[in-house]
Amino acid sequence: MKSLRLVVVLSSLCILISGHSERERLHDLMFKYPLIDGHNDLALQLRRFYNNELSQVDLHNVTKFATDINRLRAGHVQAQMFAVYVMCGAQEKDAVRLTLEQIDVVRRMCTEYQEFELVTSVQGLRNSEMKHKIACLISIEGGHSIDSSLPTLRMFYLLGVRSMSLTHSCNTPWKVIVFQRENNSLTHFGKAVVEEMNRLGMIVDLSHTAWDTASAVLKHSKAPVIFSHSSSYFICHHHRNVPDWILLELRKNRGVIMVNFHRNFITFRDKANISHVADHFDHIKKLIGAESIGIGADFEGAVSFPQGLDDVSKYPDLIQELLQRNWTENEVANILRGNFLRVFEEVERVRDQLSLNQPSEVQIPVEEVQNPCRLVLRPPKPKEHRQSSSSRAHHGPKGLLILAIGLLLSSFFMDE
């Protein structure tokens, strides 16, 4: 009996020690390779709940959100791509103004809190890691934010935007399509948008685009692209997920798909858990390799998350699941940050190669925009050559009669 108790005690002790060593290994791994997450809609919630008045909220601890500074620290998040999103209903109205206001709130948030740091480059990301800051990258979610204007796109870049998804839940006039339909190819202007993003060094994001549109962009872009918050269609047949044939094109492009945690994109079951999320990672890894995967959880944008992944502090639990599925530390390190850094570096390299190219002056035809609120300035019509009335008076019978009377009166007064 005593020997049996001893075996139970020793077994329990081994399990305890093993569990402790696994947690230590996990902590060390994520401390060495802290996460870069591809998509978070905190800015949207700041507008919804606080009208962008940062003075009304303490971002260290926000219980009504899934994101705050304390939990970002707990989740080993070193860099966050904060989405700037405005509703599609603003597309033919004030989308540009609303986008500017959302850029403003992200910039304020990331400069007024000392734990954050606004960054705009790969080197900035690395510097912020050395300073133990949470780096903020700004991404526009939806091409409708630029109002079909390349100068607007360039101005957003100057304000710090380094990524843009070409569409959201509405089609743009330049054939960036979210809904599957015939003729999903890019227009001439749509290609110009991709080319200008390549020239600027802005990451092209294909989440939300229709599959044929995504394929057209993958073939046209000179730089790698990302799906900032999408999952595997093979595992969960949702139109927002990416089918295998597109993933194979993504591998050729050297891009990255950053897996979304939204429950509806993970499984059609009523409940989802960490294991279901890991299934997406496993399938994508098997198909195109771990070097093509990242994490874009979609916190604050999605409304429901798998059990165990309900806020930004829970990333370590997913990483632990992957390690238990025999993912190597190098593979995990790459999905945590290495793959995104590689894509961003290559985007900057393409930018440098195109540095001698002048800003694009391609404009979308007015008939393609069909925006009743869009003011179009046209050059004035040339004025018709008109003779003065006095000049016309010297021609024709009436003019000659007036001239004769004038001469007679002049002669009469001179005789006086």
Q: Which of 264, 344, 324, 253 is nearest to 292 (CA)?
A: 253
Q: Is 141 a catalytic residue?
A: yes
CB-CB contact of 357 with 196 (8 Å)? no
Per-state percent for the chain, helix, strand, coil, to nearest 5: 50, 10, 40
Task: Identify the pLDDT of residue 124.
Answer: 98
Q: Is 270 a catalytic residue?
A: no
Does position 390 have pLDDT exceeding 50, yes or no? no
The full set of domains in the chain, from first to last, is 35-354 (3.20.20.140)
Of 168, 262, 276, 280, which residue is the catalytic one? 168
Stretch 390-401: mean pLDDT: 49
CB-CB contact of 176 with 213 (8 Å)? yes
Of 76, 144, 229, 262, which residue is the catalytic one? 229
CB-CB contact of 106 with 113 (8 Å)? no
Stretch 347-362: mean pLDDT: 97
Sign of CA pseudo-dihedral 76, 127, 297, 286: negative
Stretch 124-132: mean pLDDT: 97
Q: Which of 145, 229, 143 is nearest to 190 (CA)?
A: 143
pTM of the model: 0.85
Q: Is 68 a catalytic residue?
A: no
Stretch 274-300: mean pLDDT: 98
Q: Is 394 a catalytic residue?
A: no
Q: Which of 333, 331, 335 is nearest to 297 (CA)?
A: 335
Of 117, 298, 300, 346, which residue is the catalytic one? 298
Among 27-36, 185-194, 350-359, 361-370, where is mean pLDDT lowest?
Answer: 361-370
The rounded Cα 232 to chain-centroid distance in angstroms is 19
Task: Identify the pLDDT of residue 176.
Answer: 57
Residues in CB range of 376: below 8 A, 6 or more apart: 366
Q: How many CB atoms lie within 10 A of CB 46?
A: 24
Q: Is 229 a catalytic residue?
A: yes
DSSP structure string for 83-98: EEE--GGGTTTTHHHH
Strand partners, 293: 257
Of 39, 76, 276, 280, which residue is the catalytic one? 39
Does position 291 have pLDDT exceeding 50, yes or no? yes
Q: Is 20 a catalytic residue?
A: no
What is the percent of the chain where pLDDT is above 90?
72
Of 76, 144, 208, 280, which residue is the catalytic one? 208
CA-based end-to-end distance of the chain: 156
Strand partners, 8: none
Q: Is 39 a catalytic residue?
A: yes
Q: Which amino acid is at 35?
A: L
Task: Identify the pLDDT of residue 192.
Answer: 96
Does position 306 have pLDDT exceeding 70, yes or no? yes
Mean pLDDT of the chain: 88
Stretch 113-128: mean pLDDT: 98
Task: Identify the pLDDT of residue 411.
Answer: 53
Phi, psi angles (nearest 5°) of residue 81: -85, 110
Stretch 106-112: mean pLDDT: 98
CB-CB contact of 175 with 185 (8 Å)? yes
Q: How far is the C-alpha of 134 from the C-alpha of 76, rounded, in Å?
A: 9
Does position 15 have pLDDT exceeding 60, yes or no? no
What is the percent of the chain where pLDDT is above 70?
83
Does position 270 have pLDDT exceeding 90, yes or no? no
Task: Identify the pLDDT of residue 101.
Answer: 97
What tens digit of pLDDT does each residue of 184-196 get? 678 899 999 999 9
What tens digit of pLDDT does each residue of 141-164 get? 998 899 999 999 999 999 999 999
Among 9-23, 60-74, 81-95, 125-139, where is mean pLDDT lowest?
Answer: 9-23
The rounded Cα 253 to chain-centroid distance in angstroms is 18
Residue ranges of E strands in 71-180: 77-85, 116-118, 134-141, 161-165
Does position 353 have pLDDT exceeding 70, yes or no? yes
Task: Identify the pLDDT of residue 162.
Answer: 98
